[in-house]
Structure 1
């Protein structure tokens, strides 16, 4: 019974899901429309009043009061559209002066309320046409002609109002879809910038950590080595500030395109990245097996650079001092392959959360360190956006009798043949 208790007020007052029965704020356009409708219905009522003949004076007085109250009720149509329309039903049986307000009320319900309310109000108005035609027959149209005219007019108003309602809902739906698309674009842009921040700053800060650690634990370092380490720290800090300033500039001023703001690294900057890691104490061997490295597209080279950067950063964090081998191979049409491998030392095996290379991820894994895997997750998203594949994990060393397992990071990126032209 509780759910039915709210049905009658909802229908009478029109307090559906779209708009409650509270105070309605009118815009300038709403005020113009309401004033225009009030003036038009008032003039229409006065014209009909001037043509009424033969009614007794008491009935004429009642008709005038009903017509004036109905015209004044136009101002309530936005707050209670269904209630105002239903209030005109009893007087629509006999009063000719409510014709204008009746048409406005039916049209308002058709525009602002669901079909169930429109069907209720429209059905009652159609039923009122028969007694009105009998009580006030038109000398030219007759009873049948007046009924056909009244029903046709009501149906036309309902169709027009429902068309306007459907059009407004379509516009709102398109606007909402555009807003959601805009929010999605902003979210993707924030994720792209977050990946850039992680890839760049993690590499710079890891270099700072390595050099600062050397100064902290090697108190007996020669003055020349201390000076070189301090210069490396200063250079890395300066580069980190520049990278951070560039990212903040993108966040503050926005980005007009999908590509990151220049200057951005390409595959030609990979030897410089390797040299930085060597200065930080990581033995790195670079094997760049490309016929023409300059033919690699900038976007593809940038992704390959970020893969190598993330791999070197992880090697410094989880296997400090281990030699790292970087291999880049590929050709247009075959794709670009980037492979990084380094021995997994005992401390790294205890800290790194990895799975056997090419094996089953459901197998046993070591305890992860806090925050481990974040860079690889972002790297996998970057490679996936580029249409490539990323694999990482521990496998046995290629050299027989090496006695150490290797951590491998392997990425394949598509390199269209047309890009080489």
Structure 2
């Protein structure tokens, strides 16, 4: 896995965390700003409502000592508006106290609004019912008192007429009725807004939660459906691989075994034995691959089957065995293997090095039979992995000579053209470079992988 690619999820997580912290700070600043506005408005409204508190004003209309204490109490009660979103029952209780002593119920309505939104259903019903009782009580009390003690009276009484004090004259009967109707209407509207809008927002939030859950369930169902479809495809592919290749490899193994027993020439017997071992190892690899395809973990490391000449596990540690098995088949190999820090090689790179060497040797056997093949594999944590496989050019024109020498048959037409592209793709996925093609008088596969001293790659199924 590329280091840049593997770091992308970490950067995305860090970006989301910074965005979440920024949103949290903005919400806090917004709550404080709204709280300040509500506090200022509330103090103004509560100051007006002090005329309805018994004993708050002297006979001369001046604020009494009780009135001063009431105003200070209102300031303290309105300080609870800043915790309305976290503990909405606190401003609700403070607002209920203000309404019961004859003050306004604005703080109570704010507490009811946030209680409806944020508290559990049963607690919201209890607080709403209690708050409604207090609002009704405050409204009835305001209507039963003298209209001169009602804050709405200033809308009906001339400015020259005093409103506060025991000597303040009562307004006309029509004016008193208007004040009472305005008081009742304001109470009903305020209560409807606090409770109705609160329940509307609560329902909206609940619907959004339900929609989010439904979206997650839908995504999960789609994911399960896709997984079932992939599982079905894997089962079909595994069955096709097994049915198609298992029979042919078994036949090859049987024929090579018979040739090994009946052969007279020592070289033919050795070649037949090598062929039989490779066929048996290919059957083991095929069973391992089929199991991986069925389980959805192709390329995962599994124990090697007993008696296999070629390794089942594709890793840097197995490269010498791979080279030995190819040399046993009659290929003139000239290997140079310097393998260091193999216990620290990331899993993906571990398999990629083996597969690249395997594919390069396969190409050499197909297109350059009977000629020496140089294999240079160097692996270390500090320098990375360097793979160079080369063979002389022009062997395609000497295929008959090579076959006459008894080193192999012409396999140039057996490939599907995927070897070179596969090598380049593996190198590119791991952040390396691959150069495949003629170089002077030789055909060279040259692959360079980056160092892995500070890299970590999680196990990833091989494609």
Task: Give the shorter-chain TM-score range.
Answer: 0.3 to 0.5
TM-score, normalised to structure 2, is: 0.41
TM-score, normalised to structure 1, is: 0.44
Larger-Rg structure: 2
